[in-house]
């Protein structure tokens, strides 16, 4: 079955630094990847949608200059949290799908803690 690998699973960083999270589709070509944010005991909130080779589409209220998304290949998308602050601490999850598919496979998530 489709597998999505997300790395790192946990990261702690200092305020003001940037953190990059990787999302890879291991056995299929992901034409579209999605990035979600999840606060404790809450649902997944879509942050942005990225299609390979084009700019990401951000949901309303998500700062595109703070959450940089790159989808340079059909198997890799990255989310960079720039100038991180404690309020950016959260669980970030990616998912991927291929053209014409209704199947969305999720990564295992990244727990970001900004201190």
61 binds another protein (CB under 8 A): no
Binding string to another protein for residues 76 to 95, with x set by CB under 8 A, is what? Answer: ---------------x-x-x
Of residues 34, 35, 58, 67, which one binds another protein by CB under 8 A? 34
Rounded CA separation 106/98 (Å): 13
> Binding of another protein at residue 101 (CB under 8 A)?
no
The separation between CA 61 and the C-alpha centre of its own chain, rounded to angstroms, equals 16
Site for another protein contains 113 (CB under 8 A): no
- Closest CB 63 distance from another protein, rounded Å: 19
In order, the DSSP letters of 32-55 are EEEEEEE-TTS-EEEEEEEETTSP
Distance CA 57, CA 67 (A): 11
Instruction: Return the residues of window 40-59 that contact another protein according to CB under 8 A.
Output: 41-44, 46, 49
């Amino acid at each position: 079955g489709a597998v999505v690998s997300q790395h790192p699973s946990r990261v702690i960083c200092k305020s003001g630094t940037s953190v990059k999270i990787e999302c890879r589709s291991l056995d299929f070509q992901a034409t579209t990847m999605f990035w979600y944010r999840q606060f404790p005991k809450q649902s997944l909130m879509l942050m942005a949608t990225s299609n390979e080779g084009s700019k990401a589409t951000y949901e309303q209220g998500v700062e595109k200059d703070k959450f940089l998304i790159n989808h340079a290949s059909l198997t890799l998308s990255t989310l960079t949290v720039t100038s991180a602050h404690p309020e950016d601490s959260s669980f970030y999850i990616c998912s991927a799908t291929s053209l014409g598919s209704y199947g969305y496979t999720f990564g295992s998530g990244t727990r970001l803690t900004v201190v």
